[in-house]
Structure 1
Amino acid sequence: MNYVYETMYILRPDLGEELVTQAIAKYQNLVSDNGGTDVESQHRGKRRLAYEIQRQRDGIYIQLNYKGNGTQVAILERAMRLSEEVIRYLTIKQEVPKEEATEEQEVAEVEA
């Protein structure tokens, strides 16, 4: 069963625009290559952090939304943990709207 996930991550502020674009593409491809669907990314821009993280006062916020079965989350978070460009990340599993949930159940029942 697929769930909807949202991963918000913060990149170092000293990265150039080209490196930010490459990082976004890297994580989008990582999710889609491992079975994630409906991968969407939103560049939220450079913002001031509430507190200092790894000696950084600013960060570039990126929001990544996707559907998957959960294995993508582990793979994505491992890559971010090992990366020097990501200073913080957080993934949440969103509630699936009831309309979509009933449609998926109907499709599963028809296939069975």
Structure 2
Amino acid sequence: MPIAIRVRDERFRDIAQLQDVEDTLPGEPRVLLESHLPLGRADRYPLLAHIDPVGDTCFNRGQTVVLMSELRRWADETGNADVRAICGALTVLVATHMRRPHTYLWLLGD
């Protein structure tokens, strides 16, 4: 099952979603799947490894510096073109829509 990705405010109102930035990237639209995640690799990806593919995971604005670093490393280390595209889209989404206080990145599992 795909994991929905949204940026929301403190009242849980959607500000943006992954599809809003997909047209800035080359290739087909991508979705984040459980098989794409570096689960079990908390030594290398302390935030990404703890995304819950069947529940909801939330990252706050303060965590985005570490998250962006992990996304760059994950994109560099994977051989999967879909993962690289998703990392690029997530980076654009976070950089564009999480500059203001009280914004959160939500990954909504099944």
What TM-score, normalized to structure 1?
A: 0.28
The structure with the largest strand share of the pair is: 1
What TM-score, normalized to structure 2?
A: 0.28
